[in-house]
Structure 1
Amino acid sequence: MQFIIRLCVFALLLVSPALAQVPGISPAPAETETTDAGSTQAVDDLVRILENDTARAALIEQLKQAAPAEDAAPAEEALPDLSIARQLAEYTRSVAQGASATVRAVGGIFLNFRHAINGTLSADYDVIRTLAINLGIVLVGLFGSFWIFKLIAQPLLARISRGAGKRNVWKKLGIVIVGTAIDTLTVVAAWAFGYILALNFGTTPSGEMGINQSLLLNAFLLVELCKLVIRVLLAPRHIDLRFLPVTDDNAAYWSFWLARVISLLGYTFMFVAPMARTTISPAASAAVQVLVMVTAVIVGVIIVLQNKDDVRLWLAELSAKHGHSGLWRVLAAVGQHWHVLAITYLLALLVVWFANPDQALPFMLGATLQSLIAVVVGSLIVGFISRFVSVGLKLPGDVSQRLPLLESRLKAFVPAVMAVVRWVVIAGVIIAIGQAWALFDFAGWIGSDEGLAVAGSIVSAALIILIAIILHVVVASWVEYRLSANTGRMPTPREKTLLNLFKNAFTVALVIFGLMLALAQIGVNIAPLLAGAGVVGLAIGFGAQKLVQDIITGIFIQFENVMNEGDVVEAAGKSGVVEKLTIRSVTIRDMSGTVHLIPFSSVDQVSNMMRGFSFYVSEVEIAYDSDIEGAKQAMRDAFAKVMEIQEYRDVILDDLDLQGLIAITPQSVSLRSRIKTLAGKQWGAGRFYSETLMRLFTERGIETPTPKMRYLQGKNERHGHGDMPMGELPA
C-alpha cells in the first residue's frame, strides 16, 4: 500500500500542472513545499482526490488529455532540414541580418556626431578648462623633454653608427642593439618625466593624478615604442645600420607614413576616444573613432595606389630572378592585382569595424598581425635556405683530396633536402595563416590523439628516409675513400670490383628497406607488398630466364674472380678494358673507344690478359734465303736495347725467350720470341721491341718476304693489236 501511495505521489509531481486545473483542488502554499509537511499535505490531497468520485474522474480526464500530448511531443519535433534550399535560406538570412546591422551601424555614425555636438554643448566648461590646463602641462613637458632627449642622443647615435657598414654582421648587430637601447631610453625618460609632472602639477582638486594624464602617458609610451621598431627596421637616417634590403627613398617613405598612421590610431584609440567618453559623451568618443578610422583607411588606400606599380615590378623581378618557378610565379600573378586585394581588405576592415568593433575588429587585426608575422618568419627562413643553397658547400682541402666525389655528392644532396625544407616552411606558413583566420583548428587537431599519431608517423617516416640518405652518403664516401689512391695505398682491381658491387647492393637494399619502413610508419600495411614482391619475383624468374641466367652467371664469375675492373679481357667476341662490373653485365671499352655492354648470359668464356704475368709474343717472317742466325742475333740485340730503358726494364720479369724457327714456307721462314712482363705491361715494351727489331733488320739487310710486281708487255700489245693482262711474279 505504501508503495502504491509513493508511486501516486511521484505521478502527482509529474502532473502538477494538471492538478492545478482540477476543480476544487488548490495547490499547497509555497512555504509548505519545501518541508516534510508539504509532502504529507500532497499525500493527503491525493487520497482526498481518490476518495472523491468527481475529483477522481477529473484527474483521470486530465491524465488522458496529457498522455497523447506527451506521446506526440517527440513526433512533433521535426528532423533538421539539411536540404540545399534550407541551407541557402539560412545563409542568406544571416547575410541579410549582418548587412542590416552594418547599415544600422553606419547610420548610427550621424547620430553619434549629433550626440557628440549635443554632449559638447552640455558639458561642464569648468571641468574642461581644468582638464585642458592639466593636460597642457603634461603635453608640453612630455613632448618637450622627449625632443630635448632626442637632441642629446642624436650625436651619440651618429657617432656609434659611423662606419657600421664596413664591419661584420655581428658587430653591426651589436651597434644596432646599443643604438636601440639609447633610443628606448629617451622614450622611457620622457615618459617618466611626464609622470613626474602629472603627479606634481597636473592633479585633480582631490590631489590625485587624473586618469586622462595616465591615458596620455601610456599612449605616448606605446606609440613611440612602435615607431621605434619602425625606425630600427628601416633606419631612414642611419644607412649603415639598415638590415632590410630597401633603398633610401623607400626607407624614408615608409618610415614617414607608418609613423603617422601609428600616431593617428594609437593616440586616438588610447587617449582621445577614452577621454572624450568620460569628459564629453560616449557619442563623441564614437564619432572621433569613426572619423579617425575612415581617415586611416583613406590614407591606406592612397599608399596602396601610390605603390601599385612599384610592388608589381618588384614581385615580377623576384619571380624572374628565381626562374618563374613554383611559388614565385604565383607571387608574380598576385602582383598584377595586389592593389585590388589590399584596398578590398582595407574596406572590409572598415565595414567590420562599423558592424562589430568589439569582437570582429580585434579578431581581424589579430589574424592580420599573426599572418604578417608568419609570412615574415617564413620569408626569412626561405631566404636563409636559398642563400645557403646558392653559396654552396665547400669542404676542407684535405677532405676533398681524400674524398674527391663527396663535395659533388653533397652539392647534389643538399639542394634537394633544402627544397623539401623550403616547401615544409611554406606549408607551415599556410597552416599558420589558416589557424590565425580560424579556417581550421590545426592546433587543436595536432593536440588530439589522432593528430599526434599522424604527426608522429610523418616525422618517423621522414627520419627514416633522412637516416637512409645519410647512410648512403656515408657508405658511398667510405667506398670512395677505400678506392682513392690519395690515401697512400693503391687499391687492387679485386677491391675495386667488390667494393663497387657492395655499394650498389647496399644502395638497392637500403632503398627497399627504407621505403618499406617509411610506408609502415605512415600506416601502410607492407605485408601484402612483401607477398606481392615475392609473387612478382617468382613471375619474373619464370618469364625472364635470361635475367636469371645473367645474375647466376655473374655471381659465379665474381666468386671465381675471373675479371675485375681495369682488366683487359675478351668476352663474347669483344676485347677491351673492363670499365664496369655489375651482378648482371660487364661493360667493355675496346681499342677504338666503343663501349660494349655484355650480359653474362651471352658470355661463354672469358679471356683475361692481366693475371699474374703477361707475355709479349713476337713472330716475324724473313725471306727464305735470309741468314737465320743473323736474324736471331738481331732479336737479341733489339731486346738488349729495350732493357736499356728504365721504364721497360722495371716491368720485364725475365730474359728474352727466343724460341727460334717455328715455321717454314716456300716463300719465308718464321721466328718467334717472347718477353715476360708484369700483368698488363706487355704492350708498351713489346711495341718498342718490334720497332727496334725492324730497324735492325733494315740495317743488317735481312729482308722480309714482300711480294713484288713485274709488268710484262703482251704480244698483241707489242704489235699494237690490243692489251695483254698483267702478271704477278715473285721476285
Structure 2
Amino acid sequence: MSKLLRLLFALFLLSSPALAQVDASSQTEAPQASVDDLVRLLENEKTRNELIERLRTAAPPQNAEQAAQQAEGMADPTIARQIAEYTRTIAEGASNTVGAMVDLVGEVDEVFAGSATRDYSQFLGLLTQIGILAGILIGGYFLLRGIAAWLEHKIYKRVSTAGWVPRAFGMFFGLLLRMGAVIAAWAAGYAVSLYLLGGSHGRMTINHTLLLNAFLAVETCRVVLLVLLQPHSPRLRFIRMSDTTAAYWYFWVARIIGLAGYTFMFFAPVLAATVSPNAAQALRILVMLTTLIIGIVIVLQNKDNVRRAMMHRVSEGHNDVLAKTLAFVGTYWHIIAIIYLVAIFVLWLANPEDALPFVLGATIQSIVSVAIGLLIIAFISRFMRAGIWLPEDVKERLPLLEARLHAFVPRVMQAVRTVVLIGILIAIAQAWGLIDFLGWAASETGQRLTGSVISALIILLVGFVIYLAVSSWVEYRLNPNFGTIPTARERTLLSLFRNAFTVALTVFVVMLALAQIGINIAPLLAGAGVLGLAIGFGAQKFVQDIITGVFIQLENIMNEGDVVEAGGKSGVVEKLTIRSVSIRSLDGTLHLIPFSSVDMVSNSMKGFSYHLAEIGVAYDSDIDTVRLAMNEAFEELMQTDFSASIIEPLDIQGITLFGDSAITVRGRIKTLPGSQWAIGRRYNEAIKTAFERHGIEIPFPQVTYHAAAGAKPAADQPAILGLGASGSETSKEPKEAGAT
C-alpha cells in the first residue's frame, strides 16, 4: 500500500502546473525505481484496479459551465436539443479535420526541412523488411492460389452439370481451397517474419503483424466475393446475373475492398507510427474520397439497369405492395445512394471514431435485413407461383382439398409477404436508431401486445387447421369411391354438420382472437343476443324457415339426392340447408324453395318404390292372354340388369277401369327407391313386344260416323273415320249398322 501511495503522489506531482515548467533534463533524472514500481503495480491486477479507483476519485470535478450544460441537457432532453448537440459535434469534428489537414502541410515542410539532420536508416530498414515480407507473402499466395484454382476448376467441371445440391457442395469445397491458399500464405508470412526477419530472438514487429492481418482480412473478403459472384463459372452462380455483370461487380468491389482494407489496416497505422498521425489521416481522407468517387460512378453507371430490375414486377402487371415499393425506390434509388455515400463521407470526416462505425454497422444490418427479407419474399413468391399439388391418391380421396388450399394459401402468403416487408422496414429503422422496436418489444407493454397478437394469429391458424381437417373428413365420408357408400341421410346430415360447424367455429375463433388482443367480448355477446332478438321480431319469415327446416330434418322426410315434390316444384334435391332446399327439375332448372313456403313434401324415394303399369287393351281382348303377355314381359325384364333392383315379383291386380275405348289392366312392380322410372321404361318396351307377339291390340280413341238411311257416301269419303292418338285420320271398313 505504501508503494501505491508513493505512486499516486508522483502522479499528482507530474500533473501539477508547477511541474509542467520543469526542464526536460530534470525529468530524465527521475529514479528508475519508480518506473519499476509502476510496472510491477500495473502488472498486478488487484493493485491496478485499486489505482484506477483512486484515480477516478481523485479526478477534478467539472467546471461550472460543463455542469450547467449537463444539467440543462438532462432537464430538457428534447429532440431539438439532441439534434443541436449532434450537429454541433459534426461541426466541431469537421473543423478539427480541416485544422489537421492544415497542420499536415506545415508538418510535411518540417519533415523535409529537417531531413538532412534525421537518421532514416531505421526507417529504410523497416521498409526493406516490409518489402521482403510483402514479396514473399504475395508470391507464395499467387503460387498457392494457382494450385487452388486448378483444383477448383477440376471440381467445378464435375459438378457444373449436376443439380443444385452438388453445385452447392462444389462451391463450398472451392471456398475451402481458396481460403486454404490464403491461410497457408498468411502462415508462411508469419513464419518468415518470425524466423527470417525477427532475428535470433524470433520476435516480430508490430508492422509485420499489421501487414499479415490486413492481408488475411482483405483476401478473405475477396475469396468470399469470388465464390459468391463466380465471374468465370456461370453454372455455379446462385445469384441471377450475367457473366459481364458478375465480372463488373467483382472487379470494382474487390478493388474497393483492397484499397480501403490495406489503407486502414496497414498503410495508415505504419505512416502514423513512422511519420505522423496527420500524414496517416491525410492518406485516409484521400482513400475515402477516391472510394466515394468510385461509388458515385458505379451508381450512375447502373442507374438504368437497377431501375428496370426494380420495376420488373410492375411491368408484369403486379399491383401489390411489394411491386409499388420496388417501383418507387427504383425511380429514385440513384439519388438516395449518392446522398447516402456523401453522408457517410461527411460523417466520417466529422467523427470517424463514433459516427463511421455506427453508420457502417447500421448499413450492414440494413443490408442483411433486406437480403433476408427479399430471400423470404422470393421464396413466398415462388411458392405462390408453383402452387400446391397434392398426390393423386390424396386428390382421389379428397377432391376438393387442393382447390380449397389454392383458394386460401395464396391469400395467407400475400399477408405474410406484407408482414415481412413491414419487418424489413422496422429492422432498417431499428438499425439506424429511428425507433427502438426491440426495447419496446422487451418492455411490459410490448411483450403484452406482441404476445396477444401472436396468440391471436396462432388461434386463427389452429382454427383454419381444424376447419380443414373437419371439411376433409366430411368430404372423405361423402366420397363414394372410398369406404362405405354414404346413404342419402348421411349426405344430408354431413352437409348440414359441415355448414353448422363452419359457422360455429368461425364465431368461436373470432371471439377468442378478439379476446386475446384485449377486446372485451362480453358486450359483443350481449349485442349479439339483442341483435338476434331484433332479427327474431323483424324477420319472422326467416325464423319460420329455420324452424320448419329443423322439423323437416328431424322427421327425415327428404335428403340430398331424393326425388321430391315441394312448394309446387318437383325434381332432385341437390342441396339442403337449415333454411331452404334446392331442387333441380327435369328440364335442368334449379329451384330454391324456402321451408316456410313448403306445405307438403312428396318423396318418391323413401324405403321402396313401385312402377305402376296401367295398360289399356281393347274390349275384345282375352284377359288371360293379357296376363300371360304381361308375365312374359316381366320375365324378359328379369333377364336384364334391372333384376337386381326388383324386390318382388310382378303383382297383376286385374281390370281396374272400363274406359270409353279400352279396359285398363293394372300391374305393379316393387323396386328399390329411385329405380322405378328406369324399370318402368324398360317394362313398357317389353309389354309392347309381348302384345304384338300375342296380337293384343292397344286401342286408341276413335269416332264412328253413320250414314243416314238411304244416303250413299261419296266415292272418295269413307264410311268410318277413326281418330288416332296423334290426331291423324285413318279409314276403316263400315261395321254393322248402328255400331258405335
- Same fold? TM cut 0.5: yes
The superposition leaves residues 13-66 of structure 1 with CA deviations (integer Å, 9 ceiling, x where unpaired) of: xxxxxxxxxxxxxxxxxxxxxxxxxxxxxxxxxxxxxxxxxxxxxxxxxxxxxx
The residue number in structure 2 matching 1:308 is 303
Once the 2 structures are TM-superposed, how far is the Cα of residue 562 of structure 1 from its aligned partner? 0.8
Q: Of 645, 654, 667, which residue of structure 2 is paired with 1:660? A: 654
Retained in 1: the 8 A contact 2:348–2:355?
yes
**Percent of pairs with identical residues:** 48
| Structure 1 range deviating more: 354-363 or 583-592 | 354-363
1:211–1:697 CA distance, 2 compared to 1 (3 A)? same
Retained in 2: the 8 A contact 1:493–1:566?
yes
Asked if residue 127 in structure 1 is aligned to residue 133 in structure 2, the reply is: no
Once the 2 structures are TM-superposed, how far is the Cα of residue 107 of structure 1 from its aligned partner? 4.0
Could you say what secondary structure the match of 2:105 adopts? helix
Could you say what secondary structure the match of 2:176 adopts? helix
Q: Of 531, 554, 563, which residue of structure 2 is paired with 1:559? A: 554
The superposition leaves residues 669-704 of structure 1 with CA deviations (integer Å, 9 ceiling, x where unpaired) of: 333222211111011110112233344445626142
Could you say what secondary structure the match of 2:311 adopts? helix
1:691–1:100 CA distance, 2 compared to 1 (3 A)? same
Question: Take 2:428 and 2:447, find their aligned partners in 1: how far apart are those partners?
Answer: 21
Once the 2 structures are TM-superposed, how far is the Cα of residue 404 of structure 1 from its aligned partner? 2.5
Once the 2 structures are TM-superposed, how far is the Cα of residue 110 of structure 1 from its aligned partner? 4.6
Question: Take 1:205 and 1:435, find their aligned partners in 2: how far apart are those partners?
Answer: 54
Asked if residue 498 in structure 1 is aligned to residue 493 in structure 2, the reply is: yes
Q: Of 226, 230, 239, which residue of structure 2 is paired with 1:244? A: 239
The superposition leaves residues 277-320 of structure 1 with CA deviations (integer Å, 9 ceiling, x where unpaired) of: 11111211111111111100110111111111111122222444
Q: Unpaired runs of 5+ in structure 1?
A: 1-76, 713-717, 719-726
Retained in 1: the 8 A contact 2:488–2:560?
yes
Asked if residue 367 in structure 1 is aligned to residue 368 in structure 2, the reply is: no
Q: Match of 1:661, as an amino acid?
A: I
Question: Take 2:282 and 2:98, find their aligned partners in 1: how far apart are those partners?
Answer: 12
Retained in 2: the 8 A contact 1:137–1:197?
no
1:211–1:80 CA distance, 2 compared to 1 (3 A)? closer
1:187–1:80 CA distance, 2 compared to 1 (3 A)? closer
1:621–1:113 CA distance, 2 compared to 1 (3 A)? farther
Question: Take 1:192 and 1:96, find their aligned partners in 2: how far apart are those partners?
Answer: 46
Q: Of 674, 678, 685, which residue of structure 1 is paired with 2:679? A: 685
Once the 2 structures are TM-superposed, how far is the Cα of residue 419 of structure 1 from its aligned partner? 2.6
Q: Of 621, 642, 645, which residue of structure 2 is paired with 1:648? A: 642
Once the 2 structures are TM-superposed, how far is the Cα of residue 651 of structure 1 from its aligned partner? 0.8
Question: Take 1:709 and 1:568, find their aligned partners in 2: how far apart are those partners?
Answer: 44
Retained in 1: the 8 A contact 2:496–2:577?
yes
- TM-score normalised over the length of structure 1: 0.81
Retained in 1: the 8 A contact 2:661–2:699?
no
Retained in 2: the 8 A contact 1:119–1:280?
no
Retained in 1: the 8 A contact 2:101–2:278?
no
The residue number in structure 1 matching 2:265 is 270
Q: Match of 2:555, as an amino acid?
A: E
User: Residues 26-425 of structure 1: matches in 2 within 5 Å?
Assistant: 97=88, 100-101=91-92, 104=95, 107-108=98-99, 110-111=101-102, 113-115=104-106, 117-118=108-109, 120-121=111-112, 122=114, 124=118, 125-203=120-198, 208-321=203-316, 323-425=318-420
Question: Take 1:582 and 1:702, find their aligned partners in 2: how far apart are those partners?
Answer: 51
The residue number in structure 1 matching 2:664 is 670
Question: Take 2:403 and 2:597, find their aligned partners in 1: how far apart are those partners?
Answer: 36
Could you say what secondary structure the match of 1:680 adopts? coil
Q: Match of 2:699, as an amino acid?
A: T
Q: Match of 1:687, as an amino acid?
A: R
Q: Unpaired runs of 5+ in structure 2?
A: 1-71, 708-713, 715-722, 732-740
Could you say what secondary structure the match of 2:570 adopts? strand
Retained in 1: the 8 A contact 2:193–2:204?
yes
Could you say what secondary structure the match of 1:485 adopts? coil
Q: Match of 1:279, as an amino acid?
A: T
Question: Take 2:284 and 2:301, find their aligned partners in 1: how far apart are those partners?
Answer: 26
Once the 2 structures are TM-superposed, how far is the Cα of residue 329 of structure 1 from its aligned partner? 2.4
Asked if residue 523 in structure 1 is aligned to residue 514 in structure 2, the reply is: no
Q: Match of 1:656, as an amino acid?
A: L
The superposition leaves residues 168-220 of structure 1 with CA deviations (integer Å, 9 ceiling, x where unpaired) of: 33332222222211111111111111122222344599984222221111111
1:107–1:573 CA distance, 2 compared to 1 (3 A)? same
1:199–1:664 CA distance, 2 compared to 1 (3 A)? same
Question: Take 2:410 and 2:160, find their aligned partners in 1: how far apart are those partners?
Answer: 31
Could you say what secondary structure the match of 1:471 adopts? helix
Once the 2 structures are TM-superposed, how far is the Cα of residue 334 of structure 1 from its aligned partner? 1.9
Q: Match of 1:674, as an amino acid?
A: R
Retained in 2: the 8 A contact 1:163–1:240?
no
Once the 2 structures are TM-superposed, how far is the Cα of residue 115 of structure 1 from its aligned partner? 4.1
Asked if residue 450 in structure 1 is aligned to residue 441 in structure 2, the reply is: no
- TM-score normalised over the length of structure 2: 0.80
Retained in 1: the 8 A contact 2:477–2:483?
no
Question: Take 2:158 and 2:247, find their aligned partners in 1: how far apart are those partners?
Answer: 20
Retained in 2: the 8 A contact 1:319–1:329?
yes
Question: Take 1:164 and 1:572, find their aligned partners in 2: how far apart are those partners?
Answer: 74
The superposition leaves residues 433-458 of structure 1 with CA deviations (integer Å, 9 ceiling, x where unpaired) of: 11101011111111111111111111
Q: Match of 2:652, as an amino acid?
A: L
Question: Take 1:111 and 1:201, find their aligned partners in 2: how far apart are those partners?
Answer: 41
Could you say what secondary structure the match of 1:336 adopts? helix
Q: How many pairs does the alignment contain? A: 636
Retained in 2: the 8 A contact 1:234–1:255?
yes
Q: Match of 1:529, as an amino acid?
A: L
1:599–1:403 CA distance, 2 compared to 1 (3 A)? same
Question: Take 1:310 and 1:475, find their aligned partners in 2: how far apart are those partners?
Answer: 51
Once the 2 structures are TM-superposed, how far is the Cα of residue 561 of structure 1 from its aligned partner? 1.0
Question: Take 1:136 and 1:92, find their aligned partners in 2: how far apart are those partners?
Answer: 48
